[in-house]
């Protein structure tokens, strides 16, 4: 078992390079199954989830090559329609395989996925989308079984109780690009990662109108070709390092950063007392001389404040004088980090989908446990300012979403080590 050990109290200063987006990479790997021609995907982050996806694609019959410097080549000349549980259990994003398999082969059998446990994250909207497109869908012995003999263009509504489904939108798009006729997607997710997927599909020859919007029109084509595609920067990683700079009282410059996807985050963090300097593809973050202010924010689907930066904001709010309120509207049960932060001295109460944070509080090092990949980075942030030593167990969660996190933090001066037990 691997553990992060951190000694806090050091202001972080330096420059880190933004990695490619994990949430854009995994659908892009799946999209390569839509063609028999090679797809070269660049700026791919070195993450365990990426390697899990590569393993699944190889099992399906695709040739997957790591070319170096973050580039991969995927050639899916002949592929199978079955993805077994022993592979897909490792991550929820494996559900994105359904759309390409249905579109390319006319059938699919994919085990219900695993991954982070953030409340209930059902795939009902995915299955509803496939049914709307004329598929026969069953869940049989833990597998999603789809017969796409009757596949045809149609109107598909992708809205759900807590907003649009991001992976469901990706699945619907990848199915529709090879579906005969015209498909109209209503209430589609418009996250940058979805726009990035559309950009790749357009390069492959797909016909998609209004990319980046909530209402997409897709004209099905007979076949798609290969492409070369560069993954966008990881907006969640960029935001995390900006908060790391402020919470430690230092300053960090993130290079290769596209801040156009971070409007709501930057707006809220400025209110909280973080100052930013942007120059071309760089952003520099530091705490304002006036110090931190209490936070009041609500997570929402894009372009709202990202749920994947909610836990980091909670850690930051522990240092702000006065009460802060964080409302989680995307995954209402996403507060598994709160008990661990409270073990370190935070005073946070959870009421329904509200997190009530009473600051400022002095945080102390403790032994804590990571629970999911994005929220658990809040424990790293707390460890960076905690007195004495913090030990974080289950760091494999962090390895799923943050490329070389301890190396990047060390580069900025952090006292952090990865230990094996």
Which band of pLDDT confidence, cut at 50, 70 and 90, is reported for residue 114?
low
State pLDDT tens for residues 322-342. Answer: 999 999 999 888 999 999 999
**DSSP structure string for 371-415:** -STTTTHHHHHHHHHSBSEEEEE-THHHHTT-TTHHHHHHHTT-E
My answer on whether 90 and 179 are in the same domain is: yes
| Same structural domain, 340 and 263 | yes
Average pLDDT over residues 340-348: 97
**Residue where one domain finishes, among candidates 200, 230, 260:** 230
Decide if pLDDT at 22 tops 60: yes
- Same domain flag for 259 and 184: no
Asked if residue 121 has pLDDT above 60, the reply is no
Residue 42 burial (C-beta neighbours within 10 Å; 0-12, 13-18, 19+): middle
Residues 317 and 364 in one domain: yes
What residues contact 84, with CB distance under 8 A and at least 6 apart?
A: 59, 111
Q: Which of 206, 230, 254 is the last residue of a domain?
A: 230
Residues 82 and 185 in one domain: yes
Number of domains in the chain: 2
**Considering all CA atoms of the chain, what is the largest pairwise distance in Å, rounded to the nearest integer?**
64
Which of 34-43, 116-125, 138-147 shows the lowest per-residue confidence on average (mean pLDDT)? 116-125
| Residues 217 and 69 reside in one and the same domain | yes
pLDDT at position 118 is 36
Q: Say whether 198 is catalytic.
A: no
Same domain, 177 and 210: yes
Residues 305 and 411 in one domain: yes
Answer yes or no: do 226 and 270 share one domain: no
Catalytic residue among 116, 135, 190, 227: 116
Average pLDDT over residues 397-402: 93
Q: What is the pLDDT of residue 115?
A: 47
Same domain, 253 and 366: yes
Domain stop point among 230, 257, 276:
230
3-state secondary structure 129-157: HHHHCCCEEEEECCEEEEECCCCCCCEEE
Instruction: Provide the mean pLDDT of the chain.
Output: 95
Tens digit of each residue's pLDDT (9 = 90 or more) over 180-238: 999 999 999 999 999 999 999 999 999 999 999 999 999 999 999 999 999 999 999 99
Backbone CA torsion sign across 51, 52, 55, 56: negative
The answer to whether residues 310 and 181 belong to one domain is no
Share of the chain above pLDDT 90, in %: 88
The CATH number linked to 204 is 3.65.10.10
Q: What is the mean pLDDT of residues 374-392?
A: 94
Quick one: average pLDDT of 155-168?
89
Q: Are residues 201 and 306 in the same domain?
A: no
Q: Which structural domain, as residue segments, surrounds residue 124?
A: 22-230
Return d(Cα 274, Cα 252) in angstroms, integer.
12
């Amino acid at each position: 078992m691997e553990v992060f050990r951190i000694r806090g109290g050091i202001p972080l200063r330096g420059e880190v390079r933004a990695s490619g987006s994990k949430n854009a990479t995994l659908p892009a790997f799946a999209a390569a199954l839509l063609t028999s021609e090679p797809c070269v995907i660049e700026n791919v982050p070195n993450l365990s989830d990426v390697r899990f996806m590569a393993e699944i694609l190889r099992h399906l019959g695709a040739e997957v090559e790591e070319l170096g410097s973050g580039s991969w080549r995927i050639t899916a000349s002949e592929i199978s329609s079955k993805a077994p549980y022993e592979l897909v259990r490792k991550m929820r994003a494996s559900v994105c395989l359904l759309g390409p398999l249905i579109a390319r082969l006319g059938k699919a059998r994919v085990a219900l996925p695993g991954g982070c446990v953030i409340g209930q994250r059902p795939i009902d909207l995915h299955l509803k989308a496939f049914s709307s497109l004329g598929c026969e869908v069953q869940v049989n012995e833990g597998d999603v079984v789809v017969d796409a003999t009757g596949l045809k263009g149609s109107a598909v509504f992708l809205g759900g109780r807590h907003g649009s489904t991001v992976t469901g939108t990706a699945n619907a798009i990848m199915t529709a690009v090879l579906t005969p006729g015209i498909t109209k997607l209503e209430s589609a997710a418009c996250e940058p990662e979805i726009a990035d997927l559309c950009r790749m599909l357009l390069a492959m020859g797909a016909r998609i109108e209004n990319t980046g919007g909530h209402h997409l029109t897709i004209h099905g084509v007979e076949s798609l070709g290969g492409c070369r595609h560069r993954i966008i920067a990881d907006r969640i990683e960029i935001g995390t390092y900006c908060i790391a700079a402020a919470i430690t009282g230092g300053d960090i410059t993130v290079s290769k950063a596209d801040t156009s996807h971070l409007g709501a985050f930057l707006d809220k963090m400025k209110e909280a007392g973080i100052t930013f300097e942007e120059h071309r593809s760089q952003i520099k973050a530091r705490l304002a001389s006036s110090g931190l202010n209490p936070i009041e924010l609500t997570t929402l689907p894009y372009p709202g404040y990202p749920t994947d930066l909610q836990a980091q904001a909670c850690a930051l709010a522990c240092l702000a004088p006065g009460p802060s309120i964080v409302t989680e509207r995307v995954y209402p049960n996403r507060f598994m980090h709160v008990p661990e932060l409270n073990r370190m001295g935070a005073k946070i109460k959870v009421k329904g989908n509200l997190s009530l944070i009473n600051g400022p509080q002095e945080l102390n090092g403790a032994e804590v446990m990571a629970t999911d990949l994005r929220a658990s980075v809040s424990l790293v942030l707390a460890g960076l300012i905690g007195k004495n030593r913090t030990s974080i167990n289950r760091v494999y969660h962090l390895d799923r979403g943050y490329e070389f996190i301890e190396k990047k933090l060390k580069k900025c001066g952090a006292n952090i080590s990865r230990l094996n037990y």
